Amino acid sequence: MLIFDAHLDLSMNALEWNRDLTRPVEEIRRREAGKTDKVDRGRGTVSLPEMRRGGVGLCVATLIGRYVKPGNPLPGWHSPEIAWAHTQGLLAWYRAMEEAGEMVQIVDAAGLDRHLALWQDGAPDHKPIGYVLSLEGADSILTPRHLERAYAQGLRAVGPAHYGPGTYAFGTHSSGGIGTRGRELLAEMERLGMILDATHLCDQSFWEALDAFHGPVWASHSNCRALVPEERQFADDQLKALFERGAVIGAALDAWMLVPGWIRGKTTPEETGVRLEQMLDHIDHVCQLAGNARHAGIGTDLDGGYGKEQTVLDLDTIADLARLPEMLRARGYPEEDVALIMHGNWIRFLRQAWGSRGG
């Protein structure tokens, strides 16, 4: 079954982790053997061949460039201009993958339909991975003109904040509203027809953003606070507000979002027994709260700064997502709902968001 993964930091892994994602995961791991500069060295789970093997033919792929002001302890760039330049470098990697026939950018409904036809023809040949370009944290957007320029480059979704205080909103583990600049960003996004990614917005910024922005909204990689009490997750009232906006919520595989009390860098998958079933618990919670399966999807965030040391035990590579349809069937989900969760909800969302604008 075709799988649509709504959050993968592919270019970050390529440029910052120096991973050749055109190679098998096992080869990438061997090349990283003995390295200690990143906590997940030798433990990556994502490459383009593994995506094809698992049927992950569509994804939302990110650009990310945080600007940190003096005194901000988070990692990031020391000026917005450097952050912009970094995202342009990340974009250059996607362009190189397109030129090599490894990936294809999806920017409108016609392109989406062409890509779906390619992946659904059943032929076993080497197919490009389709990607929708998203910006995780908008600090690199210097002016409204830069957002328009990014749109022309194919950017179709924006999360205003990542971790900590941002230029346009407050993100995970910080607090505050969107302010004047945040409202200006959202107004320009709405004018351009871009998607607001509500993931990572702190509670105050979340509610203010939903009130200010009237365009399409999704949550590319978020789980449920009712199951794992942590502010990174969405509370039930936030989920209901997203349902009212027609949003899809992508379930993530970062173990600290699946196991209550997980301590990053200390807790291990082995001691908790965390498995894919825990991610399905979050999907099921979304479906039960909505009363249907039309708002649940996959947004794994695999290799989003972590690897096998901080994800589920029964996943070796992203290809193991192919086991999810049968696991959903075993929980009693009918085939139609399984298809919605694995790809159909994201595809419907994009067709609705792009249908009247041609991209």
Domain extent listing, the chain: 3-354
- For residues 348 and 340, give the distance between their C-alpha atoms in angstroms, rounded to a whole number: 9
Q: pLDDT at position 359, please?
A: 42
Q: Which two tokens stand for residue 80?
A: 């917005």
Q: pLDDT at position 127, please?
A: 95
Strand, helix or coil at 156?
A: strand
Q: What is the pLDDT of residues 143-167, one digit of tens each?
A: 999 999 999 999 999 999 999 999 9
Angle between helices 109-119 and 345-354 (to 10 degrees): 150
DSSP code of residue 323? G
Q: What is the pLDDT of residues 82-135, one digit of tens each?
A: 999 999 999 999 999 999 999 999 999 999 999 999 998 876 578 999 999 999
Q: DSSP alpha helices (H): ranges in the chain?
A: 10-16, 25-31, 48-54, 80-99, 109-119, 144-152, 179-192, 203-212, 236-244, 269-272, 276-290, 324-330, 335-339, 345-354
Q: Which residues are within 8 A (CB) of 281 and not within 5 positions of it... i.e. 6 or more apart?
A: 227
Q: Is the pLDDT of residue 15 over 80?
A: yes
Residue 170's nearest CA partner among 195, 142, 215, 207 is 207
The pTM is what? 0.97
- Residue 37, number of CB atoms within 10 A of its CB: 8
Q: What angle do CA 285, 290, 295 make, to 5 degrees?
A: 85
Residue 47's nearest CA partner among 249, 294, 316, 248 is 316
Q: Is the pLDDT of residue 238 over 70?
A: yes
Q: pLDDT at position 146, please?
A: 97
Q: pLDDT at position 261, please?
A: 94
Q: Which fold has domain 3-354?
A: TIM Barrel (3.20.20)
Q: Which two tokens stand for residue 179?
A: 């302010």
- For residues 309 and 39, give the distance between their C-alpha atoms in angstroms, rounded to a whole number: 8
Q: What is the pLDDT of residues 301-329, one digit of tens each?
A: 999 999 999 999 999 999 999 999 999 99
Kindly list the distances between the CA atom of residue 72 and the CA atoms of 75, 162, 236, in Å, as whole numbers in the listed order: 8, 14, 31
Please report, rounded to a whole number, the percentage of residues in the chain having pLDDT higher than 70. 98
Q: pLDDT at position 125, please?
A: 73
Residues 288/295, Cβ–Cβ less than 8 Å: no
Q: Is the pLDDT of residue 11 over 50?
A: yes
Sign of CA dihedral 141, 146, 148, 150: negative
Q: What is the pLDDT of residues 182-227, one digit of tens each?
A: 999 999 999 999 999 999 999 999 999 999 999 999 999 999 999 9
The terminus-to-terminus CA distance of the chain in angstroms comes to 26
- For residues 219 and 208, give the distance between their C-alpha atoms in angstroms, rounded to a whole number: 16
Q: Which two tokens stand for residue 263?
A: 């301590």
pLDDT band at 358 (very low <50, low <70, confident <90, very high): very low
Residues 12/62, Cβ–Cβ less than 8 Å: yes
- For residues 57 and 114, give the distance between their C-alpha atoms in angstroms, rounded to a whole number: 12
Mean pLDDT along residues 273-292: 98
Place of tokens 């910024």: 205
Please report, rounded to a whole number, the percentage of residues in the chain having pLDDT higher than 90. 96
Q: pLDDT at position 124, please?
A: 56
Place of tokens 């039960």: 288
Mean pLDDT along residues 169-179: 97
pLDDT band at 176 (very low <50, low <70, confident <90, very high): very high
Residue 342's nearest CA partner among 277, 274, 307, 293 is 293
Q: Which residues are within 8 A (CB) of 217 and not within 5 positions of it... i.e. 6 or more apart?
A: 195, 196, 197, 198, 210, 242, 245, 246, 247
